Amino acid sequence: MYSIRPSWLMRKIYSSAFWRIPTKEKKIFLTFDDGPVPEITPWVLSVLKEHNTKTTFFCVGANIEKHPDIFSQIVAEGHSIGNHTYNHLNGWKTKTKEYLENVSKCDSAINSNRLPEISNQSNCPPLTAYRLPLFRPPHGRMKQSQFSILNSQFSIIMWDVLSGDFDKTISEEKCLNNVLTKTREGSIVVFHDSIKSQKNLHYALPKFLEHFSNKGFSFEQL
């Protein structure tokens, strides 16, 4: 079970995480989880380039190491990078020590595969004002012990709108409707550059970008 917009309880439990960026401007913060993978990430990058859009990719460390060329392309094209654990772990089902070690392993994958000339670029994305790297827990699930430690090391990014693109039981139209009806100023929106999301993502992403661009919104990286 999942909610397109997070419940008040989730927001309360992780109250110091970022759920939405406070702004009255027409800005949307588009994010992608679970990549990079060759079956879908290059296509996502081509669509983003076509719409002149910069976003944030929360990458799985194991996928970075399997596909370093695609990861390098994400960075080279100016998108922000976030940590999504090394093995896409569910924090509720993982001991805290193991979870933290897995996050650290993903950090190592990110740093060892990031192009030096890109990582030192001066045009810092908005959240770098907090001087912390970005982290999103897979499934949005962390124990309080995990959250309290990681919250001092990362800007923990949750979401305002979950597209549901990963859900094979919903139609492409339903996925698109999820994001069209719930997205607002400052929304952090989640899609997935994963194989299981491919059908819904192929349909919804271009239409989502076109719809909000026509309404005068810009898409920003975190």
pLDDT tops 90 at residue 1: no
Mean pLDDT of the chain: 92
Owner of token pair 């992403």? 205
Lookup: tokens for 52: 């002149």
d(CA 25, CA 29): 12
Q: Which of these, 11, 8, 29, 14, lies nearest to 179 by C-alpha position?
A: 29
pLDDT digits (tens, 9 = 90+) for 31-83: 999 999 999 999 999 999 999 999 999 999 999 999 999 999 999 999 999 99
Dihedral sign for Cα 52, 57, 47, 73, please: positive
d(CA 179, CA 184): 9
Backbone angles phi, psi at 118, to 5 degrees: -90, -40
The DSSP call for residue 187 is: B
| Whether the model pTM is above 0.75 | yes
Lookup: tokens for 158: 């949750």
Q: Which domains does the chain have, with CATH numbers?
A: 8-220 (3.20.20.370)
pLDDT tops 50 at residue 128: no
Owner of token pair 């005068």? 216
